[in-house]
Amino acid sequence: MKILVSNDDGVYADGLWALAKELREIATVTVVAPDRDQSGAGTSVTLRQPLRMIEIKTPLDGVAAYSVEGSPADSVILALRLVLKDSVDLIVSGINEGPNLGDDVYISGTVGAALQGFFYGIPALAFSIAAFGSLHFDVAARLARLIAKEIVDKGLSRRMLLNINLPNLPPEKLEGIEITRLGERRYADRIEPGHDGKRQYHWILRGKSEWQTVSGTDIWALQKNKISITPLFGNPDGFSRELLKSLAPALFQKLVDDTDS
C-alpha cells in the first residue's frame, strides 16, 4: 500500500509526522506538504506563478519528504503527478491543530489537500484535533492507521472523502465514534487595521465562532466527547454511510484497546 501524507500546517508540523510515523507501520509513506503554515488555504490551486518543490531531510527512515512553496492542494497535485505518478492508494491529510467542523471544511487547507485526492479518485482522509496546544496526536494517528487498514481490507469505495475530528482526549476519556453530517459553525470576522509606515493594511481576525448544536452533526459529536467522521461530497460511487456506521463500534474498540488485528 502507498500512502501520501500532506497537511496545511506545514511540512514541519508535529501532527504530520505523528501521522507519517504511524502509517509507516502498514504502508510505504511519502510526505509532500506546504513549506509553511497554509491553514485556511482551502482548495486554492496556484495557477499564476511557478511552484518550487525540494526534497527535505526526513526524520523518519524510509519516508521521503518534499516541501512545496505553495498550497496544500498544490502539494497534493505535485505529489500525484510528479513524485508518485498517480500510484497512490490513500491520501491522509493532517493531523491539523484545531478543529475543522461544519462550515470550516470549505476554507480548511486540511480538507483542501484531501479533496485533491478525491478529485483524482483516491480515497482521502482529513484529520483534525479540536484543540490548540498540547495535542493527543498519537490517538488520531492510530485511528488513521485503523481506518486505512479498513479501507484496504474491506475495499471501501474509492470515491470517498472522510473529514475526521477528534476531541483532544486520551483514549479512555473518548465516548465513541459517530458518523455525522456537517454542522453549522459561523465566524464573526473582525478587521484589524494597521499601518506599515507607508500604507494601510488589514488583518482578518477570526472572531469567536457561533456553534449550533444539532443532533447528528460533527459539532454535536465533539461536544459529547466523541470522534466525528463526516463523509463529504456525496456518494457517486455507492459509498455506504451505513457500512461506515456498522464499522464504527469495532473501530472504536480497536482504538481504545490499541490493537489493529
User: Which residue ranges make up the site for Mn ion (CB under 5 A)?
Assistant: 8-9, 39, 96
**Cα 174 to Cα 53: distance, rounded to the nearest angstrom:** 39
Q: Which residue's Cβ has the minimum distance to Mn ion?
A: 39
Q: How far is the CB of 135 from Mn ion (least distance, A)?
A: 12
Q: How far is the CB of 72 from Mn ion (least distance, A)?
A: 9
Q: How far is the CB of 132 from Mn ion (least distance, A)?
A: 10
Whichever of 82 and 205 has its CB closer to Mn ion, that residue is 205
Distance of CA 187 to CAs 9, 205, 210, Å?
A: 20, 10, 6
The closest of 15, 7, 16 to 110, measured between CA atoms, is 7
Task: Check if the beta carbon of residue 78 is closer than 8 Å to that of residue 110.
Answer: no
What does R_g of the chain's alpha carbons equal in angstroms?
18
Task: Check if the beta carbon of residue 151 is closer than 8 Å to that of residue 251.
Answer: no
Whichever of 128 and 151 has its CB closer to Mn ion, that residue is 128
Q: How far is the CB of 6 from Mn ion (least distance, A)?
A: 11
Whichever of 96 and 228 has its CB closer to Mn ion, that residue is 96
SS3 78: helix
Whichever of 71 and 251 has its CB closer to Mn ion, that residue is 71
CA angle, 184 then 162 then 179, to 5°: 65
Phi and psi, residue 113, nearest 5°:
-65, -45
Whichever of 9 and 74 has its CB closer to Mn ion, that residue is 9
Q: How far is the CB of 95 from Mn ion (least distance, A)?
A: 10
E-state strands within the chain: 2-6, 28-34, 53-56, 64-68, 90-97, 124-129, 161-166, 177-179, 184-186, 189-195, 200-206, 210-212, 227-231
Whichever of 66 and 127 has its CB closer to Mn ion, that residue is 127
Q: How far is the CB of 208 from Mn ion (least distance, A)?
A: 18
Q: How far is the CB of 128 from Mn ion (least distance, A)?
A: 8
Q: How many CB atoms lie within 10 A of CB 103?
A: 15
Whichever of 69 and 150 has its CB closer to Mn ion, that residue is 69
